[in-house]
Structure 1
Amino acid sequence: MTIATIENCFKTGEDENERYFGQIGSEIIKEVTQVFYFEYEPKNYCQQVGEIEGKKGYQRRAKPSRQRLFGKYLEEHGQNYVSPPIFLNARDKWEFVPDSPNSRTGKIIIHEPANIIDGQHRAGGFIYAYQELNNSSSAEFVAFKGLSLDKEEKVFNTINTTQKGVPPSHSANLQKEQWENRVGIMLEEDSTSPFYGIICRSGTMKPEHKFQLAAVAKNVLRSFSDDVFKGIELSDEERFDFLCEAWSLIKTKFPEEWEADVQPRGDMKFKLFELTGLIAWSVVFQRRLGTFFNTTSKHIDFNGFSKAVDKVVGEIDWDKKGEFEGLTGEVGGQKIAQKIMEKMAS
């Protein structure tokens, strides 16, 4: 089925690098492109799809306000200074028909929408300008003929981590080859986790979020950085189980200070269940979990660790206006960790 045809296109490259250059009229942009989303945005001017061939999407949530601003820019200034072009993956659904045999110029017959790799706000701006401002124009595009969905995601991440754009947590969500990112995602997704539903994976914090995925992943890595773990092969599930048990223990020992489901971030009174507390206990895990780890059975003696934590209960001032007032992030976390370690050793 053909949904549109684009004339006056140019083809370059071969095989996986085959790509097309041209212009898409604003009247058909919505029909011939789509956003392969990780987070759905109901007011996005672009067409959206969350799953293709069993694979979940990766694009962050669009900001319709940015799309409207771009559309208004088009209305005022035209497209003379619109750069860069919209970057697409045609998914082998766009057919290049040369003007003559072996010609690199020709037309593209579109059978299904291409995924927008980079440029959903520009594309949405063209759509907004056409639909609501009656502004007809053309958007320049570069379209890969047929990247795999995995390669498409990697291209997106490469583009957006080598320029200002994608938040670190969204990149961590995409870079699943790093085990700490995978375990961080498990902590967010698994209902048995003390961190279930409160880790932000897109970079845009919502009211229910307490932590950014990038910060969680960094401290997951820190928790297992003791030398005793370096020569041991641990699965993601084993690391996840260890962390769940360790943090569940902390939750049990400090019930008043554990504000995971009680207060919005701005109203929290204690440092325990925010970034400072995450860092503090991760530093403690780094220095102490290894002493309770049996390298033969790959088991952590949490009874022993629990007794060590008992020495800390009632000895640390977690109040934001207390002993560690004004000390946040790494500075505050390291200070609190130092005091925890002193109490454990007493």
Structure 2
Amino acid sequence: MRDFLPSNIVIENVLQFKMRGRVAYQGFVSSQVAINFSYSKPYNDPSGKGYQRPINKRRSIEFADYLSQGEDSLYTPILLNAAGNWEFHAYNKERPLFGRLILKKKASLMDGQHRLSGIEEYVKKTDTTLNVPFLTFHYLDEDEEIKLFDIINTKAKGIGTSLSRYLNRNNDDISWVATNLILRPESPFFSKGTLIGKRNKEKHITLQNLYNIILLLIKKSDLEDLSKEKILSIALFYFNTIKETLPNEWEDFKSYRLTHIISLNALAIAGNEIINENFLCKSQQPNSSKIQSLLKNLKQIDWSSNGDLRYLKGVSGSRFLAQDIINCMS
């Protein structure tokens, strides 16, 4: 039996509570216990009541690597269904909701499969012990268990790449640059960028879009080695110059395609070549007067929404337009 325990497990200092009328338990166990006190029900279980996907080894290793970062590596409790096989005993009458759990069988693991697998990887690698938080329902029938698993994994919405970049801005230089391009009033993207990835008529450029734009601007060049402050300064100079050269096209998103993502990516690809060819190594600054003069040639391109640019799509469209931009600088 997959829920078989060779002997009872005792967990101390457990809090009992009710959630929507259902008895539940919350506490901590050692990583050695956590690895062995639950089991998963695979989606192809012969009973027809399984739901878990196979463990993705890469995700487990990524979580183990995350744990290796030390005390900052926080994580949420794993979610279990004891199916009535765990007994709670209060320590005394004065505190009836605080006591010990006696585990007679393994619990079904509803959420936290990759966390547990990652913890197992980490413990094997480091020969250490972790405290693993858990939240266990005393009893859910199999249909309730499947329903809760489905809600957890389909109704919850991820935070999205833009918000993730924002949250990591102090640990990742490109995220920091992209964030500042949205937050700084002197930036041409100040009134056009959104930090959380939710677009509207005014703010149609996401933080993730700007992250990709900066990557294209500095990719495979000496610019990659500059400090984040210098990269920000160059990006501000380059795109502000474009805005000043084509003010109407920059402001009117509906009538012109200049600030559409395909065009911005193309400008970044072209900018990579333009800036690197006109970069003053001694001062670690772009030759601003030369670049400003070159960018005036952007007026040669028809940026209107009903022009030829409307046929450009995706990465290939950006590359095609970037080559056009470079050609008109010659």
Map 1:234-313; keep pairs closer than 5 Å. 234-259=226-251, 262=252, 268-313=254-299
**Alignment check: 8 A CA contact 1:172 1:214 kept:** yes
Provide closer, same or farther for how the CA distance between residues 331 and 104 of structure 1 changes in structure 2, counting only shifts above 3 A. farther
How far 1:343 sits from its partner (Å)? 1.2
Alignment of 1:193 onto 2:187: yes
Asked if the contact 1:11–1:104 (Cα under 8 Å) also holds between the matched residues in 2, the reply is no
Deviation at 1:327, TM superposition (A): 1.0
Contact 1:10 1:104 in 2 (8 A): no
What residue number does 2:159 align with? 166
1:134-153 aligned within 5 A? 142=135
**How far, CA to CA, are the matches of 1:284 and 1:195 in structure 2?**
19
Please name the residue that 1:43 is paired with. Answer: none
Distance 1:195 1:164 in 2: 27
The code of the aligned residue for 1:194 comes to P
The 2-side partners of 1:10 and 1:343 are apart by 66
Residue 338, structure 1, aligned to residue 314, structure 2: no
Q: Would the aligned equivalents of 2:25 and 2:135 in 1 still touch at CA under 8 Å?
A: no
- Distance, in Å, in 1 between the alignment partners of 2:213 and 2:323 is 16
CA 1:235/1:335 → structure 2, altered by over 3 Å: closer, same or farther?
Answer: same
Paired with 2:259 and 2:205, the residues of 1 have a C-alpha distance of 9
Relative distance call for 1:197 and 1:319 in structure 2 (3 A) is: closer
- Structure (1 or 2) with the larger CA radius of gyration: 2
> What percent of counterpart residues are identical?
21
The answer as to 2:215 corresponding to 1:221 is yes
Q: Deviations over 1:234-279 (max 9, x none)?
A: 22222111111111110111122112xx55xxxx111101212211
Is the CA contact 2:16–2:25 (under 8 Å) kept in the aligned structure 1?
Answer: no
Say yes or no: does 1:6 pair with 2:17.
Answer: yes
- 1:139-189 CA-partner distances (Å, limit 9, x unpaired): xx849xxxxxxxxxxxxxxx99xx973322222222322211111110111
2:305 maps to 1:320 = yes
TM-score by length of 1: 0.52
The aligned amino acid for 1:11 is G
Q: Distance in 1 between matches of 2:304 and 2:285?
A: 34
CA separation of 1:274/1:223 partners in 2, compared to 1, >3 Å: closer, same or farther?
Answer: same
3-state secondary structure, aligned to 1:12: strand
Q: Would you say the 8 A contact 1:269–1:320 is kept in 2?
A: yes
Question: How far off its partner does 1:191 sit?
Answer: 0.7
- Unaligned regions of 5+ residues in structure 2, if any? 1-14, 19-23, 35-77, 81-88, 93-97, 103-111, 113-133, 137-151
Cα distance in 2, alignment partners of residues 225 and 311 from structure 1: 23
Q: 2:164 corresponds to which letter in structure 1? A: S
Q: Secondary structure at the match of 1:9?
A: strand
**AA of the residue aligned to 2:288:** F
8 Å contact from structure 2 (residues 217, 269) kept in 1: yes
Quote the residue 2:5 is aligned against: none
Do the aligned residues in 2 keep the contact of 1:271 with 1:277 (CA within 8 Å)? yes
Letter paired with 1:175: N
Partner of 1:312, secondary structure, is helix
Cα shift at 1:103: 5.3
CA distance in 1, matches of 2:100, 2:303: 67
The normalised TM-score by structure 2 is 0.54
- Helix, strand or coil for the counterpart of 1:258? helix
Q: Which residue of 2 aligns with 1:51?
A: none
Aligned partner of 1:275: which letter? I
Inter-partner Cα distance in structure 2 for 1:206 and 1:310: 30
Could you tell me which residue of structure 1 aligns to residue 10 of structure 2? none
Whole-angstrom distance in 2 between the partners of 1:209 and 1:319: 19
Contact 1:275 1:329 in 2 (8 A): no
Find out whether 1:99 has 2:87 as its counterpart. no
SS at 2:322 equivalent: helix
> Structure 2: how far apart are the matches of 1:10 and 1:323?
62
Distance 1:206 1:100, change over 3 A: same
Work out the CA distance in 1 between the residues paired with 2:266 and 2:163: 24
